[in-house]
Structure 1
Amino acid sequence: MLRQCPFAIDPSGRDIHAEAARLRELGPAVRVTLPGGVQGWAVAGHHALRKLLADPRVSKDAYRHWPAWISGEVGPEWPLAIWVSVQNMITAHGAEHTRLRRLALKAFTLRRVAAMRPRIDEVVAEVLDELARRPGDEPVDVRAHFAHEVPTRIIFELFGIPEWARARLYKIINGFFDTAISAEDAHRNGVDLYETMGELVSHKRAHPAEDLTSGLIAARDDEDGAQLTEKELVDNLILLFTAGYETSVNLISSAVHELLAHPSQLELIRSGLASWEDAVEETLRRQPPAANAILRYAVEDIDVEGTVIPKGDPIIVSLASAGRDPQVHGADADDFDITRATRSDHMAFGFGPHYCMGATLSRLEAAVAVSALFGRFPGMSLAVPPQGLGRVESFISNGLRELPVRLGPDTVQESGVPHS
């Protein structure tokens, strides 16, 4: 029956969690139809996903392991083609993935992330000052004016993005994650993305600096001294930049929303019974910044708890279904509880060899940003009912479209300390 009537994935992501729950009910591996009519499988549930994501028989390389892409049956005209056509760490498999990740880690080091902590504090303070200068009696969209601004400024500095490229990248990234986009707009967005990133690489070659882009350009493999090819360089920059931006914006805005919608949980932090880091982890579990990860491919027939995914079939990974799996998180898995023992037992940043290398930075940004926001505006409240908030149009990205709040009193202003 499932072969005759595959589950249709909603390209607009209108109700990510209801869809994820339905996939769990249907089984660990479910036949699905993706936007554009592409047929594949969705794997859902915590245990099934952990096993699948660590399985070496699961590839992310469409050029080697997706027959429909290799033959041209699915091609560049597919609205989601950019997600499989890029050739970077996230789409590489086996030894090729190991090589690309090793080169990227030479630039994206823990030392570089740790060194950013003072600058993260400074950026957060700058954005809070800008918020404080807005009219106090008007609702403020803290997704647009805080959750967006903090990681954007940090990632622009991390990558050394010049001013001329920033507005273009804002527009491109928004289109990148819109999975309800038309094929024509998706193609145009892809062209703009490659043009902009190509110009950025040329600029950084001429003006190298202490940034991640320059680091990737200079990185050499320890084994053979080889550098990234031009396409590998551009495609890995696309991966690191887009993933780093979208994940952090969604995480910060979702964490703020969860705490405002659940004031008893916020009080646990203020009373010292829990931490801001606890709130970030529970947000990652309950509202992962990415709801679904696409695409993976079966290198050979794979048995997923009794259901066989045939060799060559594409697979989407339902990260949202894992975070609220009652088999791991209990009957109250849908609830927001920052003291939950399993709050860190999620796959918001993936699992296995493709685990997100930016997870540490994303967690750090979110904890610093959210704690500073509530510290500066302790009386902040939602300006609309929680159920009235819209979501971004995407079945990949999971985030609020906007988050209007009333900031309330500014503690810096009240203390008489002038704004910076």
Structure 2
Amino acid sequence: MEFKDPVVIDPTGRDIHGEAARIRERGPVAPVELPHGVPAWAVSNPALLRRLLADPRVSKDARQHWPRWAEGRVSPDWPLFTWVAVQNMFTAYGADHKRLRNLVAKAFTARRTAALRPRVEAVTDALLDRVAKAGEGGQVVDLREEFCYPLPIQVIGELLGLPEEQGPELRAVVDGVFHTSADAAEVADTYARFYAAMRQLVETKRALPGDDLTSALIATHDDDGAHLSEQELLDTLVLMVSAGHETTVNLLDNAVHALLTHPGQLALVRAGQASWDDVIEETLRAEAPVASLPLRYAVTDLDLAELGGPEGAVIRTGEAILAAYAAAGRDPGHHGEDADVFDVTRADKDHLAFGYGAHHCLGAPLGRLEARVALPALFARFPGLALAVAPGELEPVDSFISHGHRSLPVRLG
């Protein structure tokens, strides 16, 4: 394939779905330009993307398989630097990935996730009390700030054993990681603050270990450093904190927004003609919490025709690949001409919002659990819930990766 006339990705994410449509118009695989002029291939066809995500010839390890990184042509002020620089299961390949994933997988077994339900319910109830108090007298409440955000960060914080006082700082730095239009100074500041916070967490847990994932990871490192280096320990915590809640924040935010702007769909749920699982899966399809995820790299030349892609299309060794989840979720070839329509009764809600293959999100069951608890509780507590502004007045988060709203102002009714 010839890389020319790329779709220039807007780093501010002002029009996620419009940009996704432009990517799809270029075909199943489209040339895109990331911030700082970095080229990549955006894959938006669901079937082809699924095959690529599961193909061992596709890597996430820039050190091994992205010449631009190996040659030092990616500077630390690149807004996506942290996404590539970390050394954890997110960027690992092959045996390294299996080793790192197995260490974390113990925290996300089906049994352990199910055991978290009472705690998720308790946190949800406490947050709804806070929302009720904030909305007294018809006051406008920012539901993202007061409900969608604190629920998953509190749950992942408890899993990791995060001291409560670290919460505000971690929120600030995670927001910075997803801020894909950040300037050089902000990128450097975010990187430094994030690692300072993780080192502080490790220091605290080494002194006072507890029954939490951080303490377990530290024990793995300290007992046998060959299984988990100090850098991998820190980077694994970075991944858990950032990925462990941002997707769920956006899932809750987008689901509430979709139901409030599609009252007929909410009525179907209340009438028992659709389930809350239907709401969750349709939100993941139509409003993917992660719009596009950087980056993967071709380990060898990939003839896409062999994977069901277009004839003559080849991604060359070392070229970067962007997983275009938002574009794939609304692909009309897979979901029909009404793919842009939010429809909880849709028979096929298939999506790739949590990834696929070896890198499928370990936290997906927890994210779904939090949504299954939070959404029905919210709408049962506040049956008159309504947006406090016109839908067009809502602003997206400043990111082409994270897909949600900066705020979600509502009245409780």
TM range, smaller chain: over 0.9
TM-superposition CA deviations, 1:46-71 (whole Å, max 9, x none): 11211111111100000000011001
Work out whether 1:133 is the aligned partner of 2:133.
yes
Amino acid at match of 2:152: P
Unaligned runs of 5+ in 1: 409-420
**Which residue of structure 1 lines up, in the alignment, with residue 206 of structure 2?**
205
TM-superposition CA deviations, 1:244-290 (whole Å, max 9, x none): 11111100011111111111111111111111111011000000110
Q: CA deviation at 1:38?
A: 1.1
Q: Distance in 2 between matches of 1:358 and 1:212?
A: 13
TM-superposition CA deviations, 1:329-353 (whole Å, max 9, x none): 111111111111111x100000111
Q: CA deviation at 1:226?
A: 4.6
Does the CA contact (< 8 Å) of 1:107 and 1:216 recur in 2?
Answer: no
Q: CA deviation at 1:225?
A: 9.1
**Which residue of structure 1 lines up, in the alignment, with residue 42 of structure 2?**
42
Q: CA deviation at 1:112?
A: 2.4
Unaligned runs of 5+ in 2: none
Q: CA deviation at 1:367?
A: 1.6
Matches within 5 A, 1:14-413: 14-134=14-134, 135-219=136-220, 226-304=226-304, 305=309, 306=311, 307-343=313-349, 345-408=350-413
**Which residue of structure 2 lines up, in the alignment, with residue 417 of structure 1?**
none
Q: CA RMSD in A?
A: 1.7
Amino acid at match of 1:59: S
Does the CA contact (< 8 Å) of 1:107 and 1:219 recur in 2?
Answer: no
Residue 137 of structure 2 aligns to a residue in which SS? coil
Amino acid at match of 2:144: R
Amino acid at match of 1:169: L
Q: CA deviation at 1:79?
A: 2.3
Q: Distance in 2 between matches of 1:122 and 1:219?
A: 31
Does the CA contact (< 8 Å) of 2:31 and 2:41 recur in 1?
Answer: yes
TM-superposition CA deviations, 1:196-246 (whole Å, max 9, x none): 10110111111111112112223489xx99531111111011111101111
Q: Distance in 1 between matches of 2:389 and 2:245?
A: 26
Amino acid at match of 2:394: L
Q: CA deviation at 1:186?
A: 0.4
Q: Distance in 2 between matches of 1:246 and 1:326?
A: 27
Q: Distance in 2 between matches of 1:138 and 1:107?
A: 40
259-268 vs 105-114, which moves further: 105-114
Aligned length: 406
Does the CA contact (< 8 Å) of 2:84 and 2:91 recur in 1?
Answer: yes
Post-superposition, which runs of at least 4 consecutive aligned residues in structure 1 deviate over 3 A?
224-227
Q: CA deviation at 1:109?
A: 2.9
Q: Distance in 1 between matches of 2:3 and 2:214?
A: 45
| TM value normalised by structure 2 | 0.95
TM-superposition CA deviations, 1:368-388 (whole Å, max 9, x none): 111100000001111112222
Q: CA deviation at 1:18?
A: 1.1
Amino acid at match of 1:285: R
